[in-house]
């Protein structure tokens, strides 16, 4: 009714209630918004408890998962995150900076993953990713994994974590990951966020 997108409303709530520069408090405030006000399709606190190694997320949305992953970065590490929707990227950028992460620690790249991935090395300086978190369009998971392979952007022993492969589902990605012989595949059961 207000004409303000819910992502912007969530950010306005963060501005009013979150402690700037405190990633944990920013995430807690985000969770309060999602539990009490409006649902956003963020990773959420339950899935977010399993914080892996330094990441390259595909699919940023409002920045929740990016902040979650960035707070676990070792000193000197850099996180690259990709978001196709410029409106969501604008909100995510503000959330990431509100949490206290500068451009040297977290680089938000706006554009379609199929255009961004081939340029990650030459344009953004990513040599190899130790961890990739896929949480974007499920139909793009397989294509993007194969692009990462083609451009040799996965470090040896890299972890690829793909959200929601069973529901709403990414069956071609899952079949490839299980049968191509390049990966040890494990499916983790999780609840929906919030």
Name the residues annotated as catalytic.
135, 138, 163-164, 193
Q: Phi first, then psi: what are they for 51, rounded to 5°?
A: -90, 110
Q: What's the confidence (pLDDT) of residue 47?
A: 53
Say if CB 120 and CB 93 are below 8 A apart: no
Averaged pLDDT, 89-107 = 97
Domain-located, residue 191: no
Domain-located, residue 188: no
Identify the domain containing residue 163 by its residue range.
6-180
Q: Report DSSP letters for 40-80, one per residue.
A: ----HHHHHTS--SS-EEE--TTSHHHHHHHTTPPTT--EE
Domain-located, residue 100: yes
- Asked whether the predicted pLDDT for residue 19 surpasses 90, the reply is yes
Computed from CA positions of residues 20, 57, 80, 87, in that sequence, does the dihedral angle turn out positive or negative?
A: negative
CATH of the domain at 65: 3.40.50.150
Domain-located, residue 193: no
Q: What's the confidence (pLDDT) of residue 45?
A: 64
Mean pLDDT, all residues of the chain: 90
Domain-located, residue 186: no
Residues whose CB is less than 8 angstroms from the CB of residue 166 and which lie 6 or more positions away in sequence, other chains included: 174, 187
The tally of CA atoms less than 13 A away on the side-chain side of residue 140 is 17
Domains of the chain: total: 1
Domain-located, residue 32: yes
Summarised one tens digit per residue, pLDDT across range 34-49 is 888 887 877 666 555 5
Domain-located, residue 189: no
Which range has highest mean pLDDT (33-42, 50-59, 86-95)?
86-95
Domain-located, residue 125: yes
Summarised one tens digit per residue, pLDDT across range 115-126 is 999 999 999 999
Q: What is the pTM of this model?
A: 0.85
Q: What's the confidence (pLDDT) of residue 152?
A: 97
């Amino acid at each position: 009714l207000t004409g303000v997108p819910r992502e912007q409303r969530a950010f306005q709530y963060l501005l009013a209630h979150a402690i700037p520069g405190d990633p944990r408090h920013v995430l807690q405030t985000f969770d309060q918004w999602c539990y009490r006000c409006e649902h956003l399709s963020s990773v959420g606190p339950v899935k977010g408890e399993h914080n892996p190694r330094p990441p390259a997320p595909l699919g940023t949305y409002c920045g929740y998962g990016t902040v979650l992953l960035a707070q676990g970065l070792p000193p000197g590490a850099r996180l690259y995150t990709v978001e196709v929707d410029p409106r969501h990227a604008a909100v995510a950028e503000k959330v990431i900076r509100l949490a206290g992460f500068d451009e040297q620690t977290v680089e938000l790249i706006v554009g379609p993953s199929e255009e961004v991935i081939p340029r990650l090395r030459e344009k953004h300086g990513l040599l190899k990713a130790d961890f990739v978190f896929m949480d974007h369009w499920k139909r793009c998971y397989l294509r993007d994994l194969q692009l990462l392979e083609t451009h040799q952007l996965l470090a040896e022993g890299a972890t690829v974590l793909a959200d929601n492969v069973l529901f709403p589902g990414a069956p071609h990605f899952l079949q490839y990951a299980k049968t191509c012989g390049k990966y040890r595949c494990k499916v983790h059961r999780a609840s929906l966020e919030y």
